[in-house]
Chain A
Amino acid sequence: MSRHKVPSASWLPKLVVAPSFLLSFFFIYGLIAWNGYLSLSASHMLPNYDWVGFENYANLFDNDRFHVALTNMAIFGVLFIGGAMVLGLLLAILLDQKIRGEGVLRTIYLYPMAISFIVTGTAWKWILNPGLGIEHLVRSWGFPDFTFDWLVNDQRAIYCIVIAGIWQASGFVMALFLAGLRGIDDSIIKAAQIDGASLPRIYWRIVVPSLRPVFFSTLMVVSHLAIKSFDLVIALTAGGPGYSTDLPATFMYAMSFSRGQVALGAASAEIMLATVAAIVVPYLYSELRSKK
């Protein structure tokens, strides 16, 4: 539709975008390939380009720490994605009830998204610390036996990360769903009300199903946030106690930049990439096709 026939200038747009496109494609696809090569090499402390094949991947899946990271990814992924989606949808539906002061509430629910995960982690670390945090607070309310030591408990610390993650991201989910709800035709709801349907029933049967497209794009955005989670873990638990709260991203960082296991780090990065690609590529494909 915008193919303008100006022969003299037809090379100019291409020339103008060429440098940034070439750089970007090198940055995205060139470096993915480079990292892929590193993951098949004998790199340890420093990159080394001797080929060893899939040995690093075999070592990766034999590595206890990586197993912990994958298990945590599953726990964190399910709870964080589920929690943020449910809470965000709930908040969006509640805010959609013609609330006076909606703007203020929306601002409050969404502000965590404007601050760094490092700030969030630092704040929640202080709130959840067993010495002077919530445990101390509840004890001072008259429950002297109350204990809440999840942050330093290697079986429970991952749930602290879930709590802080949901706190940070559910307002974002709310904003996306709210935008979707605002796009729904009011007259459908009115008609259902005239037919005598109750409000919860209308939401469950009519409104929520019509949010399907928003639901999928939100799910996609939140899952890729989950897979990339790094800062929050570093700030809240630094992967500890021990490595009990490692996620693939922190595993990759530890192997590549402090443990001198570059090839293992590169292999774990490729696994992360494959996971994200499996979610994102079908989504991008369908989005771009549907717009044609």
Chain B
Amino acid sequence: MNRPNALTWHRVVLWAVLLIFAAWFLMPLYVMVVTSLKDMDQIRGGSLMSLPTAITFDSWGKAWSQACTGTDCGGLKPYFLNSVAMVVPAVAISTAIGIVNGYVLSKWRFRGSEVMFAMLLFGVFMPMQVVLLPMSQILGYFGIASSIVGLIVMHVLAGIPSTTLFFRNYYIGLPDELIKAAMLDGAGFWRILWRVVLPLSTPILVVTLIWQFTNIWNDFLYGVVFSGADSKPITVGLNNLANTTSSVKEYNVDMAAALIAALPTLFVYVVAGKYFVRGLTAGAVKG
């Protein structure tokens, strides 16, 4: 600890352990990438870890536009587009509601607002299995049971507790004097939100957008329960593709498809990992 960079033997052991774990975490990603770049002959001839002898992007093209998911063979493209059409409004609406809720619960508290917040918090943790059956009845009643709109409604409802929590906890840290000063200047509820609070919200806004995007893009449960033939999200498409039994199991296409499904969230993670981690820890340390 005194000389952190001195190369003592336990420094070497420490580094060895850290690198072994890094290799373990990276291994599946490495396997996915190399497998997706091989053709089936190379997969049979080589091993899990061997580099491709000749790189081919055929399986990527196939996964995107021709691979079979169950009976139809149009690749992952339609699922990917469904996910985009679902994610954008769901993230925007749930975040907007979270901003307003968080603003009221921190700066405009009223009698009972803390209890309401606690009751809402349970929604962050409850197992969603418990709402699936009633929700499918409700969505059916409104005629949106197997549509992207239904999925958006579901994601917004499921997301409100977390987005409210994020903004509420962040706004608590903003000094009340700021609000009082704005009120003395004659600003009202909306004007304070718009002119004072929102301009200070960039970090938590980024955290929430990333959090909601990652969760909704990666969701499988609502996707598999509430979607119809032409509204299935990417995770359902990938699962169907990987579980379609054909005469020859094309692992390279499976891996390319898995990477396609993972790329948007991985990209966000690499670009803005700091904010993603903050979302994770904010979701764990409540109150």
A residues with a Cβ closer than 8 A to B are 1-4, 6, 9-10, 12-14, 16-17, 20-21, 23-25, 27-32, 34-35, 38, 47, 91, 94-95, 97-100, 105, 107-127, 132-134, 136-137, 140, 167, 171-172, 175-176, 179, 189, 193, 199, 217-218, 220-221, 224, 227-228, 230-231, 234-235, 238, 248-249, 252-253, 256-257, 262, 265-266, 268-270, 272-273, 276-277, 280-281, 284, 287-288, 290-291
Q: Which residues of B contact A280 (CB under 8 A)?
A: 122, 125
Min CB distance, B166 to chain A, in Å?
Answer: 15
Size class of the B contact interface (CB-based, 8 Å): 35 or more
B239: CB under 8 A from chain A? yes
Indicate whether B78 reaches chain A with its CB closer than 8 angstroms.
no
The reply to whether B287 and A290 contact each other, CB–CB distance below 8 Å, is yes
CA distance A30 to B239 in the complex (A): 32
Interface centre among A2, A179, A252 (most CB of B within 10 A): A2
Q: A24-B123, A94-B14 are in contact. Are A110 and B242 (CB under 8 A)?
A: no
Q: Which of A107, A116, A269 contacts B127 (CB 8 A)?
A: A269
Across the interface, B261 reaches (CB within 8 A) one of A119, A218, A257, namely A119
CA distance A103 to B183 in the complex (A): 43
Can you list 14 contacts pairing A with B, beta carbon distance less than 8 Å? Answer: A4-B180, A25-B119, A31-B134, A32-B131, A94-B14, A108-B25, A108-B26, A109-B21, A111-B25, A119-B262, A125-B242, A126-B31, A134-B48, A189-B1
CB neighbours of A172 from chain B (8 A): 280
- Asked whether B176 lies within 8 Å of A123 as measured between CB atoms, the reply is no
Identify the stretch in B51-59, B66-74, B103-111, B195-203 within 8 Å (CB) of chain A at 4 or more residues: B103-111
Q: When A127-B31, A132-B251 are in contact, do A116 and B18 touch as well, CB less than 8 Å?
A: no
Contact present for B225 and A109 (CB under 8 Å): no
What is the bound-complex CA distance between A107 and B266, given in angstroms? 11
Q: Is the CB of B287 within 8 A of A100?
A: no
Check: B206 CB closer than 8 A to any chain A CB: no
Does A231 contact B220, Cβ atoms closer than 8 Å? yes
Interchain CA distance A269-B134 in the complex, whole Å = 12
Is the CB–CB distance between B157 and A193 below 8 Å?
A: no
A198 to B89, CA, bound (A): 55
Q: Is B179 an interface residue (CB 8 A)?
A: yes
- The answer to whether A117 touches B220 (Cβ under 8 A) is yes
The answer to whether the Cβ of B5 comes within 8 Å of any Cβ in the partner chain is yes
Contact of A133 with B48 in the complex, beta carbons under 8 Å: yes
